[in-house]
Structure 1
Amino acid sequence: MTDGEAWSGTVVKKARALLDGSNLYRRLKVRLDDGTEQDVKVDRETWKRVKVGDRLVKQPGEDPRVS
C-alpha cells in the first residue's frame, strides 16, 4: 500500500516488533472490504487506540483512522 491510496477495512490482528533491533514497529493486519488482508504500519497513538474488530478508513495522503 502507498500513502496515496484510499481503503477501508477491519482490524484482524495487532502486532509490534523490534525488526531492526532498535526501532519498535507497530503494525495492524487489516481485512479490506474486498476480502484481501494487508499489513499496515501505524503510529503509537493509533496502535494504542485501535482494537481487533475496529473499522479503519484511510484517505489518500492521510493516516488511517477509526470510523
Structure 2
Amino acid sequence: MSSEHAWNAVVTAKSRGLLDGSNLYRRVTVRYDDGREEKIRVSRDLWKQIEPGDRLVKEAGQDPRRA
C-alpha cells in the first residue's frame, strides 16, 4: 500500500533481518480489515512497542501507529 492510503490492521507476526547485509530491517506481518495479509516495514520504536495481536492504524500521509 502506498503512504497516501489509510488502513487498519492487526499484527500477526514480527521479524527483523539484515536483508542487504548491512542494514537491519524491522517488519511486521499485518492482516488488514478486509482479510489481506502483507509484510510492512516499521520503525524501530514501533517494532519495540507492538506484539502479535496488537492493532495498527495508518492515516493518509502518516506512519503506522499502535491503536
Q: Per the shorter chain, which TM-score range?
A: over 0.9
TM-score by length of 1: 0.97
Distance of 1:38 and 1:23 partners within structure 2? 21
Name the SS of the counterpart of 2:38 in structure 1: strand
Tell me what 2:41 maps to: 41
1:65 aligns with 2:65: yes
1:21 aligns with 2:2: no
Distance of 2:7 and 2:38 partners within structure 1? 10
Give the residue type in structure 1 aligned to 2:41. K
Unpaired runs of 5+ residues, structure 1, are none
Q: CA RMSD in A?
A: 0.5
Runs of 4+ deviating beyond 2 Å: none
Unpaired runs of 5+ residues, structure 2, are none
TM-score by length of 2: 0.97
Distance of 2:6 and 2:25 partners within structure 1? 22
1:40 deviates by 1.0
Tell me what 2:54 maps to: 54
Name the SS of the counterpart of 2:48 in structure 1: helix
Give the residue type in structure 2 aligned to 1:13. A
Task: Give the number of aligned pairs.
Answer: 67
